[in-house]
Structure 1
């Protein structure tokens, strides 16, 4: 494995962007006007009509979604959100297991999987408008629990505070931390060389929009999403490839996970023993248990 590939593999922890080099992630063509300004924001009462995997239209874009399981009573719909560089297929096993008891959906964000490419650089507001349009179709007026991995967790955590009427629970599986750019530049100084320097530079580039979604991963404080159940799960170990800076990176990541606790007074943080960044793959039992508990709690408090 060459040095560049190793650095990129470690960078997966930050936002789950996989590949052999940043250059292949697409151009960050910034536009003065939001490319998704026309995305649907109202509810349409179509929840539950999507079954299996299909394409839906959201804000003029084709979005790939997958739903399985049946709704029961007023249980929330569980929505799985993959990390950056990943499609909904990476959530397939988790979705299959969860759908035995609840309705579960997943989707490819613009630039991922089988969904359309974005028109230009996306902000959190842009990707949020697409998520709202998706929820209108797959959940209608039903409450939802968002369960996100890595960048998917970051987006879920940023979305929930502005949609308290809809989001009734969160599960963050090694979510990208609230201030990743500041964290990685502190953990790996500009004087670093070799793979550590490559990791630092790649992470900054990805955060600036050089990723499949052309999504700007901005540093920001954590806002409250109300008194909803929130389960935050972090990896156990991930940074052995950069031993000189591994301890600092682990502290950075752990501190960032603790920051997400400010989302709710009913938040909890735990470590998935034996897990790397892909917690739902390495320890699906922990991911399933967390999602089921949050869904049950969200149902009980309605």
Structure 2
């Protein structure tokens, strides 16, 4: 187990890369980390109202849904960052649910869901997502809105599930090549806190995180012409990291642009007054983007 790094610089990068529960973000978080059956669609199941546990592939998954279902209209599914849970998304979900059906869930190893049986990959965490969508959306299309690691998972999932994912909103999503970005931005020759930050984050990406998820780099694949909004933070706070901050900030910005490869209809914008938690710092920006993408997805579904 890696020891904690308590410098502000380390806290900043760790929180940014994967979420609030990453090493050094909340005191003893790193010390408390563990090292590192397909579901079927149930369109006829009673809609979930509020928070409840559902079974997916033999595991208990904590799910929250609100808003009225509407046949054929996209269901919005919010995806939290690492170390967070659906509770962090509650305020945004409440706002969106005034006019939409909105659900969120805790991934295995997070919030109120079961711990994973063993190491996870994008494939295995994607199977849990499929099971959740089967239950909360049935045959309706979905719009995935993910923050940080949740955005990365959503972006990896969408190209393989074009039949149901009809829109994406990425809120300062972890870049598709973040592992390589860290290695290049902070060289192996780095000393002191930067060296420990590098080692710590490499361990995180190799699966030493609460979800036991190995976060591999990969090419951005197309999900077709679905509406996609990529929103990056506007406050360049990564620059606060001594010596290597500017490199990291640049790599993050480049990574956000790479996500435009997801769709021919993808757009990139900046939340000028936001740090990493865009939906907390500027909830209106997040809500409006999700509503825009949902409306566009609905129009496409009806051939408009």
Structure 2 length as normaliser, TM-score? 0.92
Whole-angstrom distance in 2 between the partners of 1:46 and 1:62:
20
Please give the residue correspondences for 1:18-167 in structure 2 after superposition, counting only pairs within 5 Å. Answer: 18-20=25-27, 22-28=30-36, 38-40=37-39, 42-46=40-44, 49-167=47-165
Q: Which residue of 1 aligns with 2:6?
A: 4
Query: How do 1:246-261 and structure 2 match up within 5 A?
Result: 246-261=245-260
Shift of 1:198: 2.2
Task: Name the residue aligned to 1:196.
Answer: 194
SS at match of 1:153: helix
**Other structure's SS at 2:103 match:** strand
Structure 2 spans left out of the alignment, 5+ residues: none
Deviates more, 1:268-277 or 1:7-16: 7-16
CA–CA distance in 1 between the matches of 2:130 and 2:119? 18
Aligned-pair CA distance for 1:191: 1.7
1:264 paired residue number: 263
Show the 5 A alignment for 1:210-229.
210-229=208-227
C-alpha separation in 2, matches of 1:188 and 1:50? 46
Partner of 1:225: helix, strand, or coil? coil
Pick which of 153-162 and 12-21 moved more. Answer: 12-21
Any runs of at least 4 consecutive aligned residues in structure 1 with deviations exceeding 3 A, and if so which? Answer: 18-23
Q: Assess, with a 3 A threshold, how the Cα gap between structure 1 residues 19 and 210 changes in structure 2: closer, same or farther.
A: farther
Aligned residues: 291
Greater shift, 230-239 or 209-218, is seen at: 230-239
Q: What TM-score does the superposition give when structure 1 sets the normalisation length?
A: 0.93
Q: Does residue 1:169 correspond to 2:167, yes or no?
A: yes
Q: CA deviation at 1:46?
A: 4.0
SS of residue matched to 1:27: coil
Report the equivalent of 1:206.
204
1-side partners of 2:205 and 2:152: how far apart? 12
Query: What is the rounded CA distance, in whole Å, between the counterparts of 1:193 and 1:15 in structure 2?
Result: 23
